[in-house]
């Protein structure tokens, strides 16, 4: 148990974040720390934009490392291995590709265009569901199209 120095409530150790610079827990609980961070962001919206636009590549890398554990160099290597195209549809795009990852393990699988990433997300990363959708498109849609043409 540990007492938050902000709200003075005694809480379980799991309610405190680890200090990344030192091998100890932060003095404020997660709830108080989150509330303080939100208040700062709300009061300083312009600073986030300034930070991004002063170093967009650095902010992109910061995001990739924080969310996926991938450096910008690693991202570029993955993109090069994929031939500069989406791992599924092989299309290229002007904007950055999405980092596809397993939501259960966090393991990075590859880089996808926005449409393919959303398709996998809507299928809940379920390969059987995607195979069923492909089978549907390959078998049923031509029959429906033929029936529609005959009806006209």
Q: What is the CATH number for 73?
A: 3.40.1800.10
Answer yes or no: do 62 and 26 share one domain: no
Number of domains in the chain: 2
Highest mean pLDDT among 48-62, 111-125, 129-143: 111-125
Lowest pLDDT segment from 40-49, 85-94, 103-112: 40-49
pLDDT band (50, 70, 90) for residue 141: low
Residues 91 and 57 in one domain: yes
Reading the block at residue 116, the tokens are 């393919």
12 band by pLDDT with thresholds 50, 70 and 90: very high
29/66 same-domain check = no
Q: How far is residue 112's CA from residue 79's CA, in Å, rounded to a whole number?
A: 10
In this structure, the answer to whether residues 110 and 131 fall within a common structural domain is yes
Verify that 122 and 51 share a domain, yes or no: yes
Q: What is the mean predicted confidence (pLDDT) over 95-107?
A: 91
Q: Which domain holds residue 132?
A: 46-152
């Amino acid at each position: 148990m540990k007492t938050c120095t902000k709200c003075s409530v005694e809480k379980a150790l799991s309610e405190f974040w680890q200090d990344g610079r030192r091998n100890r827990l932060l003095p404020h609980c997660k709830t108080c720390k989150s509330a303080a961070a939100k208040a700062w962001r709300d009061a300083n919206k312009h600073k986030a934009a300034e930070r991004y636009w002063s170093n967009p590549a650095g902010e992109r890398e910061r995001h990739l490392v924080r969310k996926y554990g991938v450096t910008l160099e690693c991202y570029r290597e993955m993109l090069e291995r994929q031939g500069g195209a989406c791992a599924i549809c092989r299309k290229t795009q002007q904007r950055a590709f999405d980092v596809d990852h397993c939501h259960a393990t966090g393991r990075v699988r590859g880089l996808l265009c926005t449409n393919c990433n959303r398709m996998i997300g809507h299928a809940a990363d379920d390969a059987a569901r995607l195979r069923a959708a492909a089978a549907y498109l390959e078998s049923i849609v031509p029959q429906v199209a033929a029936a529609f043409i005959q009806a006209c």
